[in-house]
Amino acid sequence: MRIVHACNLQFDKDGAHLWNQDQKIHHGLVRLGHFVYPFSINDRARMFSPTGSKTFGKGRTQKALIETCRNVHPDLLILGHAQWISADTLREIRHLLPEIRIGLWYVDPLWDEEPTRHLRDRVPVLDALFCSTGGPLLESFATADCPAHFIPSAVDAGIECHRAFETPDGEMVHDLLFFGRDKGQPERRAFLEELKARLPDLSLGYYGCLDRPLIMGWEKEQVIRRSKMALNLSRRNDVELYSSSRIAELMGNGILTLTPRGAGLEKLYAEDEIVYFEGIDELVERVRRFVGDREAREAIARKGWERNHRDYSGTEVARIMVNALLPDAAGR
């Protein structure tokens, strides 16, 4: 089929955000055998603005997407985090191409009302919605004409290309890693500070938090590859199936990942594929257990890596979307 994928490929980041979900889903659609035309929403908006501001270019971006669909004549239009593509624009595309099927994927939290308002506004003109949150929150967006589907955070073998579980202990730079911001999140900051205080003899690599800079791209990959364990902390741990996409970046690169219980991730990852903990006491105990047990650490990390690349690849996520939008295309 022909597909227009209107998302945010972040060309302006010069490769620093190479692991973003947009790239992985795009690659997955291509690997399914379709012609996939990339329409990078924010980059197009900057191109149309004399100042390089997305805001001033969003009107012309809407028209450009309509013209793109006119020229490509896609079977599917798949939108990713397309806050600036209005429902009216989608209606005009439907009028132009009555047979087109339109889906939208969204991998940010669903519990924030204002950031998700655009989803509710667009549901009436969508054929399917895909989100990385499950349960009642996801179901609240579904309608009779627009089902809502859960999608896991995707990995890509060409992006998550490392196997940290194979790195010799002598090359390790950290015992435990955490990538994430703590600005405006005092509870996360306090948790990380206490963890550091309780593991004074271990090397904890904090990036983007506790007043330390975030690292990106290749540099980030090398730190993951050369660390024993990593912490997956999301903004909330009580929302069904929700996790930051950080979980895919970590497990997909073969590092033993520790995550809080509470979100029902056991439906996605077995106990021998990831390390679950409840509270900081159990986390400290788990870290101390695995830091010196390479055999146990490697076994769990390897199984988690295998699970992600087998079941949660960008190709499998793309397959969910295509099959939901066009059931008779199943297996293509």
The CATH number of whichever domain residue 118 belongs to comes to 3.40.50.2000
Q: Do residue 147 and residue 180 come from a single domain? A: no
Q: Do residue 84 and residue 7 come from a single domain? A: yes
Q: Do residue 119 and residue 200 come from a single domain? A: no
Q: Do residue 57 and residue 143 come from a single domain? A: yes
Confidence at residue 34, expressed as pLDDT on a 0 to 100 scale: 98
Q: Do residue 208 and residue 226 come from a single domain? A: yes
Q: What is the pLDDT of residues 279-294, one digit of tens each?
A: 999 999 999 999 999 9
Q: Do residue 299 and residue 317 come from a single domain? A: no
Is 123 contained in some domain? Answer: yes
H/E stretch holding 158: none
Q: Do residue 117 and residue 173 come from a single domain? A: no
Candidates 320, 327, 319; CA nearest to 32 is 319
pLDDT over threshold 60, residue 219: yes
Q: How far apart are CA 95 and CA 91, in angstroms?
A: 6
Q: Do residue 36 and residue 92 come from a single domain? A: yes
Q: State if pTM tops 0.85.
A: yes
Q: What are phi and psi of 109, to 5 degrees?
A: -60, 150
Q: Do residue 17 and residue 112 come from a single domain? A: yes
Q: Do residue 120 and residue 23 come from a single domain? A: yes
Is 179 contained in some domain? Answer: yes
Q: Do residue 185 and residue 322 come from a single domain? A: no
Q: What is the pLDDT of residues 30-72, one digit of tens each?
A: 999 999 999 999 999 899 988 877 888 889 999 999 999 999 9
**What rounded mean pLDDT belongs to the chain?**
94
Coil vs helix vs strand at 145: coil
Q: How far apart are CA 175 and CA 202, in angstroms?
A: 6
Is 238 contained in some domain? Answer: yes
Got the DSSP string for 246-279?
HHHHHHHTT-EEEEESSS-GGGTS-TTTSEEESH
Candidates 283, 262, 265; CA nearest to 274 is 265
Q: Give the chain's domain count.
A: 2
The CATH number assigned to the domain holding 285 equals 3.40.50.11660
Is 159 contained in some domain? Answer: no
Q: Do residue 302 and residue 172 come from a single domain? A: yes
Domain housing 120: 2-154+313-329
Q: What is the pLDDT of residues 192-209, one digit of tens each?
A: 999 999 999 999 999 999
Is 275 contained in some domain? Answer: yes
